[in-house]
Amino acid sequence: MSGLAKAAPALKPFTLALIQLGNIGANKTDNLKHAREMIHKAVTNHGEKKRPDLVVLPECFNSPYGVNHFPQYAEKIGYTPGQPFEPESSESESVRMLSAAAKELKTWLIGGSIPERDTTDDSKLYNTCTVYNPQGDLVAMHRKVHLFDIDIPGKITFKESETLTGGTTLNFFDTEFARIGLGICYDVRFPELAMIAARRGCQVVVYPGAFNLTTGPLHWELLQRSRANDNQVFVSMCSPARDMSAGYHAWGHSMVVDPIGKVLVEAGEGEEIVYADIDAQTMVETRKGIPVTTQRRFDVYADVSAEVLY
Ligand SMILES: NC(=O)CCC(=O)C(=O)O
C-alpha cells in the first residue's frame, strides 16, 4: 500500500459526487467526451447540493464491459507510483482527459476504471483506476486485485481472467479532507481489502463497480453496508447506468453508506449524478458508541492487516 508511513489526515466534512454514467458504447472518443461532459455537470450543475470535492466515475467508463473488449480498448498509462509523471504526455487518452478535467474544474477525481495495457509487457492487461488531484496530477492508481470470475449456471458466467491480470498492490491516497482507499467492484467481496485500508487510516473506501442483474439485487447494498459496518468507515460504489442494449447489464444503484451502515444516497438505474455529504462526526460517534476498533483481540487471533507484504 503506497504512502504507509504518513499519518492519515483528519476526516473533514466533504461532498462526494457519483456519476452513474450512461451511453457507454463502442466509440471510445464518444465515451470520453460524454464522461468529460458529465464530470463538468457534476461539478458545475449541483443545484441545491454543495459543490462536490470529489467526483467518481464507474468501472470501465471508456469501453463496453466485456473480456473480449478489453484488449481493443486497453491503453498504456505509463505511471509508476513515486516516479515523476506528466499526465498530459501519457499515451492514454483517457488519462489525459481525466487529468485535464480535474485541473479545469479544480476537483479531486476518481477516474472509474479503464482497461490498461502494461507499459513494459504488452501481454498483460489490467482493470485500472486512476486518481487526480485538483491540479490534474495523477496521485494514485489501483489495479483490480480480485478478478471477476464467476459462474452461476443459467444466470451469469464471467471470466475477467481470460484477458486480465490481477493487480498486486493495495492503494490509497490522501486529500485535504480524508484518506481514501481504493478497490474495484469484485474487490468489495474481499473484506481484507477494506479492513486493511481502514486499519491504515482510510476513513472512506471507494469502489468503481459494475454489478449485474443476478448479484446486484442480492449483494450490492449488502456488501457495501457490510464493509462500512465491519470497519466503521464510509463506503461507496459507483456503477454505470443500466443499458439493456449492451452486452453486460449493469445493476446501477450507485451508493454511499456511512460508518454505522446507513445508506446515505442511492441512484436509480439510469444515468444520474448523486451527491452525499460526508459528515466526519458520524464516524466519531459510531466508533465511540460501538467501540470495536479498540476491542479487537489480537491476543486471540492475528491482525492480518499487520502482515501485508508490499
Ligand atoms: N465488475 C465486477 O467485478 C462485477 C462484480 C459482480 O457483479 C459481483 O457480483 O461481484
> How far apart (Å, rounded) are the C-alpha atoms in residues 191 and 306?
15
* Domain-located, residue 7: no
Q: What is the pLDDT of residues 257-268, one digit of tens each?
A: 999 999 999 999
C-beta neighbour count of 285 within 10 angstroms: 14
**Rounded to the nearest whole angstrom, what is the distance from the C-alpha of residue 160 to the centroid of ligand 1?**
10
CATH of the domain at 241: 3.60.110.10
* Domain-located, residue 138: yes
Atom of ligand 1 nearest to the CA of 219: 9
The region, left, alpha or beta by phi > 0 then psi within -120 to 50, assigned to residue 273 is beta
Residue 295 has what pLDDT?
A: 97
Q: What is the pLDDT of residues 27-61, one digit of tens each?
A: 999 999 999 999 999 999 999 999 999 999 999 99
**Confidence bin at 304 (pLDDT 50/70/90):** confident
* Domain-located, residue 8: no
> How far apart (Å, rounded) are the C-alpha atoms in residues 1 and 170?
5
Residue 306 has what pLDDT?
A: 84
Residue 89: pLDDT over 70:
yes
* Domain-located, residue 120: yes
Containing structural domain, residue 298: 14-307
> How far apart (Å, rounded) are the C-alpha atoms in residues 171 and 197?
8
Q: What is the pLDDT of residues 56-78, one digit of tens each?
A: 999 999 999 999 999 999 999 99
> How far apart (Å, rounded) are the C-alpha atoms in residues 164 and 127?
7
* Domain-located, residue 165: yes
Asked if residue 138 lies in contact with residue 157, where contact means CB atoms within 8 angstroms, the answer is no
* Domain-located, residue 3: no
* Active-site annotation holder among 28, 59, 160, 271: 59
3-state helix, strand, coil split of the chain in percent (to 5) is 30, 25, 50
* Domain-located, residue 4: no
Asked if residue 204 lies in contact with residue 233, where contact means CB atoms within 8 angstroms, the answer is yes
* Domain-located, residue 236: yes
Q: State pTM to two decimals.
A: 0.97
What does the longest C-alpha to C-alpha distance in the chain come to?
55
Residue 253 has what pLDDT?
A: 98
Asked if residue 20 lies in contact with residue 38, where contact means CB atoms within 8 angstroms, the answer is no
Residue 4 has what pLDDT?
A: 53
Q: 148, exposed or middle or buried, with CB in 10 Å at 0-12, 13-18, 19+?
A: buried
Among 143, 212, 237, name the best residue to mutate to test ligand 1's pocket (greatest count of ligand atoms within 8 A of Cβ): 212
Q: What residue owns the CA closest to ligand 1's atom 10?
A: 186
**Rounded to the nearest whole angstrom, what is the distance from the C-alpha of residue 216 to the centroid of ligand 1?**
8
**Confidence bin at 1 (pLDDT 50/70/90):** low
60 is catalytic: no
Number of domains in the chain: 1
List CB contacts of 274: < 8 A, sequence separation 6 or more. 17, 18, 20, 254, 256, 265, 266, 267
Q: What residue owns the CA closest to ligand 1's atom 1?
A: 210
